[in-house]
Amino acid sequence: MLVVDASVAVAASLAADGWSIFHAEDPVSPPLVLSESCSVLHEARWRGEITKELADQALERLLSAPLRIQALDDPRMAWAIAEELGWAKTYDAEYVALARALGCRLVTLDARLRRGAGRLVKMIDPVDL
């Protein structure tokens, strides 16, 4: 099992075979991964960074990804992690809390997240898969 954050979900969705790297994993994410990823994809399209066709394809890949959505049993877990790490927002803390609760690794492209939460859960880069 492996918790996937939005940075990885977006990157995997933009690549035609991006989700294939998870073939030997059981990727899981908190529900916010969908809204975060959709927002990033829409903004990239809106800014003209990607074509409408690629944005549409990426959205479909995201929505059909082999990604299990799992909510935290207690949202206070993310709150406590944000407090412990000195973060104002709890978004990234949800990924960390889910990885901690499931006792698994967290895959991210976000260097700040890796630096901040690396002492709480095992963090990996997608190239480590």
CA-CA distance, 63 to 28, in Å (whole number)? 13
57 contacts 12 by C-beta, under 8 angstroms? no
Fold (topology level) of 2-128: Rossmann fold (3.40.50)
Residue 107 parent element (H or E): strand 105-107
CA-CA distance, 96 to 4, in Å (whole number)? 10
pLDDT confidence bin for 20, thresholds 50/70/90: very high
Domain boundaries, the chain: 2-128
pTM for this entry: 0.94
pLDDT, residue 40, reads: 98
Res. 16: pLDDT tops 90: yes
pLDDT confidence bin for 108, thresholds 50/70/90: very high
Average per-residue pLDDT for the chain: 96
User: What would the pLDDT profile of 47-86 be if each residue is shown by its tens digit?
Assistant: 999 999 999 999 999 999 999 999 999 999 999 999 999 9
Residue 86 region by backbone torsions, left for phi larger than 0, else alpha for psi between -120 and 50, else beta: left
Res. 127: pLDDT tops 90: no
| 3-state DSSP helix/strand/coil % of the chain, to nearest 5 | 55, 10, 35
pLDDT confidence bin for 23, thresholds 50/70/90: confident
